Structure 1
Amino acid sequence: MRRPLSRLILLLCLALPAVAGGPVSLRAAPPTFSTEELIDGFMKTVFGLEYRSWSWQPYLVKKYTGPVRFYVHNMAARDRRPTVYRFIEQIGAGIRGLSTIIVPTPEEANFHVYVVDRGQYRDVVRRHIYKDPTADVPGRCLVRVVSDRRGISQSAAVIVSDEGDFLFRRCLVEELLQGLGPMNDDDSLVHSVFNDRSRHSRFTTFDRLLLNMLYHPRIQPGMSPAQVEPLLPAIVREIRPLVN
Structure 2
Amino acid sequence: MRIRNLPALLLSLLMPALVAAGPVRAANDSFSTEEILKGFEKTVFGLEYRSWSWRPYLVKKFTQPVTFYVHSLSRRDRTRVVHRFVREIDRRIGGLKTRITNDPAAANFEVFVVDRAQYVPVVQRDIYKNDRAKVPGRCLVRVVSGRNGIKRSAAVIVSDEGEFLFNRCLVEEILQGLGPMNDNRDLTHSVFNDASRHSRFTIFDQIILNMLYDPRIQPGMSMKQTKPILPLVARDARRRVR
How far apart, in 2, do the equivalents of 1:135 and 1:53 lie? 18
Of 204, 207, 214 in structure 2, the residue corresponding to residue 206 of structure 1 is 204
- 1:10 Cα deviation after fit: 0.8
Amino acid at match of 2:49: Y
Structure 1 partner of 2:12: 12
Q: How does 1:45-64 map to 2 (within 5 A)?
A: 45-64=43-62
How far apart, in 1, do the equivalents of 2:235 and 2:155 lie? 32
Give unpaired runs (5+ residues) of structure 2.
1-5
Instruction: Flag the 1:189–1:88 CA change in 2: closer, same or farther, 3 A.
Output: same
Instruction: Flag the 1:151–1:187 CA change in 2: closer, same or farther, 3 A.
Output: same
Structure 2 partner of 1:24: 21
For the Cα contact (< 8 Å) 2:143–2:150, is it kept in 1? yes
Amino acid at match of 1:52: R
Structure 1 partner of 2:226: 228
For the Cα contact (< 8 Å) 1:65–1:151, is it kept in 2? yes
How far apart, in 1, do the equivalents of 2:199 and 2:135 lie? 23
How far apart, in 1, do the equivalents of 2:17 and 2:110 lie? 25
Amino acid at match of 1:25: G
Amino acid at match of 2:239: P
Cα-Cα RMSD: 1.5
Alpha-carbon displacement from aligned partner over 1:20-62 (angstroms, at most 9, x marks no partner): x9x5212412252111111100000000002224412100000
Q: How does 1:58-97 map to 2 (within 5 A)?
A: 58-97=56-95
Amino acid at match of 1:158: V
Structure 2 partner of 1:3: none
Q: How does 1:100-111 map to 2 (within 5 A)?
A: 100-111=98-109
Alpha-carbon displacement from aligned partner over 1:210-229 (angstroms, at most 9, x marks no partner): 00000000000000110011
For the Cα contact (< 8 Å) 2:123–2:156, is it kept in 1? yes
Percent identity among equivalent residues? 61
Alpha-carbon displacement from aligned partner over 1:129-170 (angstroms, at most 9, x marks no partner): 000010000100000000011100010000000000000000
Q: Is the deviation greater in 53-62 or in 81-90?
A: 53-62
Structure 1 residue ranges (4+ consecutive) displaced by more than 4 angstroms after TM superposition = none
Alpha-carbon displacement from aligned partner over 1:64-116 (angstroms, at most 9, x marks no partner): 00100000000000000010000000011000000000011100000000000
For the Cα contact (< 8 Å) 2:17–2:194, is it kept in 1? no
Amino acid at match of 1:236: A
How far apart, in 2, do the equivalents of 1:192 and 1:203 lie? 8
Counting matched residue pairs gives 236
For the Cα contact (< 8 Å) 1:7–1:146, is it kept in 2? no
Structure 1 partner of 2:214: 216
Q: Tell me if 1:180 matches 2:205.
A: no
Structure 1 partner of 2:3: none
For the Cα contact (< 8 Å) 1:7–1:148, is it kept in 2? no
TM-score, normalising length from structure 1? Answer: 0.93
SS at match of 2:22: coil
For the Cα contact (< 8 Å) 2:17–2:196, is it kept in 1? no
Amino acid at match of 2:42: K
Structure 1 partner of 2:134: 136
How far apart, in 1, do the equivalents of 2:222 and 2:233 lie? 16
How far apart, in 1, do the equivalents of 2:48 and 2:113 lie? 22
Give unpaired runs (5+ residues) of structure 1.
1-5
Amino acid at match of 2:135: V
